[in-house]
């Protein structure tokens, strides 16, 4: 068929079909090339860091260092049966960060934890009293992130991919503070877990720079129902000072922004690299759960899930389109 209908059907194919439409008008013209369905897969190496742990401590004499950058993959596979509308699934993770500091001292170590006024003498192992300070102490902070997603995609020519879909994010933290005082030991242990399920929208936009190269912007924004849980245990030698857990359902958000350069290596293969920043909001962190320093029987029990966490890093990847 010819005419306006032809122009519209050509436009819907875009350059994804592997050809131009030719002359289009109300008169004759070349037939629109038939669209070949295609599939794609990309594997990226993420080199990311969870920000904000630097100098966190519940000990008087030493603090935690910032977490290191860690590697993890991001794998995406998708198919586009009609050159415009498609579906893709993706997995990110597992990113696992840890900061571990320990100290031993002849002069004795003390804690920033405060005894319950109703129970004096309960934090002796931690070095609460100047006359009875600890011999060795250790703090370990661990943070883990992974996610899985499934999206409907829409390809706009060769310059943009728009998507909407569902995503599950698992973000969990553990903090351990242990102390040795003579023959006695003490422990503070906290776990904060966030299991987030919700919807996200996103776009990948490409801007040609040269014959084979382009710059890109990658953006994602999601709203989630966060089933958050926190548990705490404080033990001073044989005495349990606090032990319990709390769970609640909160609203949370995840926002991602990335930018970089993509280079086409041939018909099927491309490589790319760039910078990424993520912002996770409305989550429970170990850092926030134990910010209250007085160790009462309800210490660490009130679930606080309104913390914000930043992640920054670099990405390197390759993609295949066939």
Q: DSSP state, 59?
A: B
pLDDT for position 180 = 96
Highest mean pLDDT among 1-10, 127-136, 212-221: 212-221
Residues 6 and 57 placed together within one structural domain of the fold: no
Residues 248 and 267 placed together within one structural domain of the fold: yes
Q: Which domain holds residue 155?
A: 37-102+136-321
Is 113 inside a domain boundary? no
Go through the chain and tell me how many residues it has: 322
| pLDDT bucket at 32, cuts 50 / 70 / 90 | low
Residues 29 and 178 placed together within one structural domain of the fold: no
- Can you tell me the distance from the alpha carbon of 212 to that of 19, in angstroms, rounded to the nearest whole number? 17
Residues 171 and 267 placed together within one structural domain of the fold: yes
Neighbours of 117 (CB within 10 A): 8
CATH number at residue 227: 2.40.128
Which of 22-31, 74-83, 259-268 shows the lowest mean pLDDT across its residues? 22-31
Is 130 inside a domain boundary? no
| pLDDT bucket at 19, cuts 50 / 70 / 90 | very low
- Can you tell me the distance from the alpha carbon of 254 to that of 252, in angstroms, rounded to the nearest whole number? 7
Is 187 inside a domain boundary? yes
Residues 22 and 84 placed together within one structural domain of the fold: no
pLDDT above 70 (res 209): yes
Is 49 inside a domain boundary? yes
pLDDT for position 298 = 84
Is 116 inside a domain boundary? no
Residues 301 and 227 placed together within one structural domain of the fold: yes
Residues 85 and 13 placed together within one structural domain of the fold: no
pLDDT above 80 (res 45): yes
Residues 184 and 230 placed together within one structural domain of the fold: yes
Residues 51 and 14 placed together within one structural domain of the fold: no
Is 253 inside a domain boundary? yes
Is 119 inside a domain boundary? no
Tokens of 196: 């987030």
Is 127 inside a domain boundary? no
pTM, two decimal places? 0.88
Residues 55 and 201 placed together within one structural domain of the fold: yes
Residues 142 and 23 placed together within one structural domain of the fold: no
Residues 156 and 198 placed together within one structural domain of the fold: yes
Secondary structure E strands in the chain: 38-50, 70-80, 85-109, 114-115, 134-156, 160-181, 184-208, 213-236, 239-264, 269-283, 294-295, 307-321
Q: How many domains does the chain have?
A: 2
């Amino acid at each position: 068929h010819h005419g306006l209908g032809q122009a519209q059907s050509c436009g819907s194919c875009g350059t994804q079909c592997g050809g131009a439409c030719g002359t289009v008008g109300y008169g004759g013209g070349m037939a629109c090339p038939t669209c070949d369905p295609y599939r794609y897969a990309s594997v990226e190496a993420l080199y990311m860091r969870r920000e904000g742990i630097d100098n966190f401590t519940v000990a008087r004499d030493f603090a935690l260092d910032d977490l290191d950058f860690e590697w993890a993959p991001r794998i995406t596979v998708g198919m586009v049966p009609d050159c415009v509308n498609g579906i893709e699934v993706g997995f990110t993770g597992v990113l696992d960060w840890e900061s571990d500091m320990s100290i031993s001292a002849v002069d004795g170590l003390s804690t920033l934890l405060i005894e319950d006024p109703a129970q004096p003498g309960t934090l002796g192992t931690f070095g609460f009293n100047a006359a009875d300070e600890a011999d060795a102490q250790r703090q370990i902070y661990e943070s883990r992130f992974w996610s899985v997603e499934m999206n409907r995609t829409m390809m706009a020519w060769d310059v943009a991919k728009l998507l909407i879909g569902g995503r599950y994010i698992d973000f969990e933290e553990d903090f351990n503070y242990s102390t040795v005082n003579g023959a006695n030991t003490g422990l503070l242990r906290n776990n904060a877990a966030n299991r987030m399920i919700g919807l996200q929208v996103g776009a990948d936009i490409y801007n040609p720079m040269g014959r084979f190269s382009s710059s890109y912007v990658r953006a994602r924004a999601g709203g989630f129902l966060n089933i958050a849980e926190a548990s705490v245990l404080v033990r001073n030698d044989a005495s349990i000072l606090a032990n319990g857990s709390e769970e609640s359902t909160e609203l949370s958000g995840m926002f991602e922004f990335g930018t970089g350069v993509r280079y086409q290596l041939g018909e099927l293969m491309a490589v790319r690299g760039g910078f990424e920043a993520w912002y996770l909001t409305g989550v429970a962190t170990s850092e926030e759960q134990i910010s209250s320093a007085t160790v009462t029987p309800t210490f660490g029990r009130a679930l606080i899930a309104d913390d914000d966490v930043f992640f920054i890093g670099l990405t390197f990847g390759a993609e295949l389109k066939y």
